[in-house]
Structure 1
Amino acid sequence: MNRNSLEHYLNTLLSPERIKDYAPNGLQIQGKDEIQKIVTGVTASQALINRAIDEKADAILVHHGYFWKNESYVIRGMKYKRIKSLLDHNINLFAYHLPLDIHPTLGNNAQLAKLLNIEITGPLELGNELSVAIQGKLASSITGEALSNIISEKLNRACLHITPPSNKKIKTIAWCTGGGQDYIELAAEQGIDAFISGEVSEKTTHIAHEMNIHFFAAGHHATERYGVKALGEFIAKEQGIDVVFVDIDNPV
């Protein structure tokens, strides 16, 4: 598939123009014109680039790419080594951040809901179809301990569970993958029983205790593995391109 055709296909699928983001979405580093093999992963780290080189990939597709807001403009050190590796091997780098979080079926939030058997009921930010946090419900009420065990088992990592004083059962849940812990207050204000994110802040514990809401931090990387994996599988099926998902483990 031609590089420009692939970018057009991805932009049509993910509609990055609809949402303001912290980094450019789409083709970030140009490589060879024709793409026959893609490596997908969460972050365009050197380890992922090295695997793409080993796989003889023509392109890398990630959730976390380069050129973030407030990032230094200079290309030196780690950034230089990464970009040089891509250019030396003529590998394209495509990155989609918030558009991949919010996609209704392939997105990180949608895929996490599928993994945890949560029925999506709508955006957490009411009336905002582009909300990066969403809400849903379980088929039946369960304890916080039971949900913690499910999350830990499904994501294959120990989940942090902050239990509110009431230790109420959980039926309604809101979530935002990655660094979405600050949405916990909005979830609590809406009377939702639990909030799931990837990361946790010092203040999150106090909010959970004082606003009577369960909180689960399941890991930034762990909660965002599934969107880019699903996207790659969709591309392979729809476009007939060889796609390999590479999970560079990250405990954070």
Structure 2
Amino acid sequence: MEESMNHLELETLINSELSPQLIKDYSPNGLQVEGKADIKTIVTGVTASQALIEYAIAKKADAILVHHGYFWKNEPQQIRGMKGRRIRSLMKHDINLYGYHLPLDIHPTLGNNAQLAAFLGIHSVTGLEDHPQSIAMKGELAEAVTGSEFAKRIGKALNREPLHIAPENADKLIKTVGFCTGGGQDFIDLAAEQKLDAYISGEVSERTTYSAREQDIHYYAAGHHATERYGVKALGEWLAKEHGLDVEFIDIDNPV
């Protein structure tokens, strides 16, 4: 039988699992837009775009759970334009919006980084930064592979061909890997400092090319959206399995 839960109880439940209070973030984590009190059906996705909201409306969902929600630091505070349309749609249909950013990146099993490591066969995972809430991680492959072989593995796992920037020694084998989903490309310098063979993130900057070439490290830009599909999907599956809620993950295509 389908279970239901109070919208504030759901926030407390997710907070108890993700511990957002332990990390300083760029947006509020938790219930961002309040809707109906009783939740049975949840739609999950990477970003609370209008397309995801329209799907939730069509499904008559009670809540949307995303990695990229609203009210980011330094963004305009006015609720107008695109943000206004999105929030009006949520409120008109009484849909709750929950957003979890960095806490969902770093969770040791449900998080984006943990899910990426599992997909790519990276084990012995620890923090790249020297503190418990490290946003970037590192680990090892079971066997060393070439740069092109690892690019194929990433492409197969994420269904998206990554951009591969090889070091000057392009034949360097890969055994140790640093990674941070989304926009974590600037951790490449810390990965190189720790003598890792490769580093993966979602995005790439102009400067990343030279960091890879000049510091003897393979770099893979695997897509911000593509690398961050799986944390919120895993969180939704956990809610369905452990708490009986009706949860559906929707992948709104994004080439970035």
Greater Cα shift, 190-199 or 111-120: 111-120
Query: 1:202-242: CA deviations, max 9, x gaps?
Result: 00000101100000000000000000000000000111000
* Matched position secondary structure for 1:175: strand
* Matched position secondary structure for 1:199: coil
Query: 1:155-212: CA deviations, max 9, x gaps?
Result: 1111100010112000000000000000000000000000000000000000101100
Listed as ranges, the gaps of 5+ residues in structure 1 are none
1:121: how far off?
2.9
Aligned to 2:229: 225
Mapping of residues 66-215 of structure 1, within 5 Å: 66-126=70-130, 128-167=131-170, 168-215=172-219
Contact 1:48 1:248 in 2 (8 A): yes
1:45: how far off?
0.2
Mapping of residues 35-54 of structure 1, within 5 Å: 35-54=39-58
Greater Cα shift, 115-124 or 180-189: 115-124
Root-mean-square deviation (Å): 0.5
Greater Cα shift, 114-123 or 168-177: 114-123
Mapping of residues 26-65 of structure 1, within 5 Å: 26-65=30-69
| Stretches (4+) displaced over 6 A | none
Pair 1:17-2:31 in alignment: no
**Partner Cα distance (1:147, 1:120) in 2:** 18
**Partner Cα distance (2:122, 2:99) in 1:** 27
Question: TM-score if structure 2 supplies the norm length?
Answer: 0.97
**Partner Cα distance (2:237, 2:36) in 1:** 22
Contact 1:120 1:134 in 2 (8 A): no
Aligned positions, number: 251
* Matched position secondary structure for 1:51: helix
Query: 1:103-153: CA deviations, max 9, x gaps?
Result: 000000000001111103310012x11000000000000000000011011
Listed as ranges, the gaps of 5+ residues in structure 2 are none
Contact 1:113 1:120 in 2 (8 A): no
